[in-house]
Amino acid sequence: MSEAAPPDWIGDAVLYQIFPDRFARSASAPTPSNLEPWDDPPTVHGYKGGDLLGVVERLDHLSELGVTGVYLTPIFQSGANHRYHTHDYHRIDPLLGGDAAFQRLRDALHERGMRLVLDGVFNHASRGLLQFHDVLENGPASPYRDWWHVEGFPLRAYHEDGDHRYRSWWDLPALPKFNVETPAVRTFLWGVATRWLEEGADGWRLDVPEEIDDPAFWREFRKRCRAVRDDAWLVGEIWGRPDGWVGGDPFDGTMFYPLAQAILGWSGATSIRSRRGAAASAASSRARRRRSRTSWRRCSTRRRLRARRT
């Protein structure tokens, strides 16, 4: 297989996206206390208690529907029900059943000839990640200080006024942004990607890769992933046109949201939600794009300024 070519299996794949906390709760898994009632409307911070064993128990149904693979939203240990706030990239969240449940799901999928795609959040982590928490505890003396874009001490990780003294995704203090210019950070993130491919994942969906404005990082990411699995599928969450991101440099495909917007527009809608929520959804989407562009420009400007000083 060509290094630049997408894997053969993705050509006719039907992937089913699963948000584990809200998909299915298994009776054979330990049930945490203080869960929201399953049939109540979900809340921002509440947990429903869905787990990976619940996914295993419904694979036959998914297969009957014609599904050939599962894409899971983040499953690593986290302090959020959606798990985009990663605490530990090397541990499956205990609320989802832990590493053992992951192994059962992986095996059950592969026994059925189905694929498993994971969600990689590598632009930012959470306040609970060890390497960030160490900076909170030890300040300038932390060996992980250069893992982050620190702008002053002490850090104000739980202040919501925007002055938390480190760069974060969309200025949200809960989501500190990795400094991928630090060699140890690059090695760490590449290691996470290859480790879970070695554990049996078939590919990665990469969260907001545009915000890691470093083509060399992503080329090496692909090189290392393909060295582990030559049929690994890599797809990026690119919000706009995919120019410069596909064709194997560095991804096999993108989420391609403009196509979704075009389909919705053809059907006379701006959202898959109700008409009442459509305007709000469209406004929120525009705001996300503006903030993404602002974040990208800020990142690029800082790099240029550093280059001038050196």
Give the active site residues.
Answer: 207, 237
CA 102 distance to own-chain centroid? 17
Report how far apart, in Å, the C-alpha atoms of 28 and of each of 45, 63, 76, 198 are.
25, 22, 21, 27
> How many angstroms separate the CA atoms of 290 and 197, rounded?
34
Take residue 23 and report the two structure tokens written for it: 């998909």
> How many angstroms separate the CA atoms of 105 and 23, rounded?
14
Tokens 């393909």, residue located: 226
Yes or no: say if 47 and 80 are a contact pair by the CB < 8 Å rule: no
* Edge-to-edge strand ranges of the sheet holding 253-254: 15-18, 69-72, 115-120, 203-206, 233-236, 253-254
In sequence order, what DSSP letters do the residues of 124-188 get, joined into one string?
Answer: B--TTSHHHHHHHHHGGG-TTGGGB-B-SSS--TT--SS--SB-BGGG-TTSBBB-TTSHHHHHH
Take residue 177 and report the two structure tokens written for it: 């942004």
Residue in 149, 121, 143 with CA at minimum distance from that of residue 130: 143
Half-sphere exposure of 44 (CA within 13 A, CB side): 0
In this structure, the strands spanning 76-78 and 86-92 are antiparallel
Phi, psi of 235 (to 5 degrees): -130, 135
> How many angstroms separate the CA atoms of 87 and 84, rounded?
9
Tokens 């203080």, residue located: 34
